[in-house]
Amino acid sequence: MAVLVDPPRWPAHGREWSHLVSDVSLDELHAFARRVGIPARGFEGDHYDVPSERLADLQAAGATLVPAGELLRRLVASGLRVPKRRGQQVLGSWVEVRPGGDEVHVDLVVSVEPSPAATTRGVRGLVVDGERRVLLRRPRVGGQGGAGQDGAGQDGAGPAGAGPDRWALPVVGRGRPLGFSRHRPVAAGGRRAPASRWRHIALVAGTPDDVVLADGDEARLVAATDAGRACGAPPWWPLVVHGLEAAALGGGR
């Protein structure tokens, strides 16, 4: 086990906070957090924020106290560091294993800025009507399925769970940025691949006029409360929920 924690020196909400990380795997980090009762909402993409009063408990459970600089250095060296810019929020990160055995770090990011055009392999649209129904589509039987129509089938970055038996968000040509999923291949030695090899799937707030349907695709409106289940509850669905919540607060298009 290589779970690390730095001294509580980061002020927020009237308290001081530490960062809890693993320099081995996210699975190890999440398992440790569950064991010591750290709530899931404390996860920030590559670390958990923990208040100063929990430091002794974390050390007693096996976390090693290290200076903040060493914690960051070891996190970066592990390849688990999640890049984040100002104005972005990382909803979650996990590791996917592709059919050929290659590992890919996936980050789910809320952002009002568009994903990089050069590495964006698909754009999904969150299209919501006045009755809080989400427009979904189902590819024609025998077609490429959800991932292929997003242009992401080759690198596996398409929507998990998509296919002829699942509904998916529609492909769109434009829209207001809501966020993206970022797919970072793991290179030799466990390090992440250069940014030129990353892939992004964007989520935008779209309108019916933005939707691009292939011949034979079926489209329907589904209540927002049922849409995730109709899509097979894919791991990127929390980004959709965030978009729905923003729309409900007046941030919709």
Lowest mean pLDDT among 78-87, 108-117, 156-165, 202-211: 156-165
**CA distance linking residue 239 with residue 245, whole number of Å:** 10
**CA distance linking residue 206 with residue 125, whole number of Å:** 5
Answer whether 183's CB lies under 8 Å from 200's CB.
yes
At residue 219, the pLDDT reads 94
Give exposure, 34-56, as e/b (b: 16+ Cβ within 10 Å).
eebebeeeebbbbbbbbeeebbe
What are the CA-CA distances from residue 212 to residues 86, 144, 181, 209 (Å)? 32, 15, 20, 8
Q: If you average pLDDT over residues 48-73, what whole number do you get? A: 95
| Structural Rg of the chain based on CA atoms | 20
For residue range 141-167, list pLDDT tens digits in order: 654 444 333 333 333 334 444 445 689
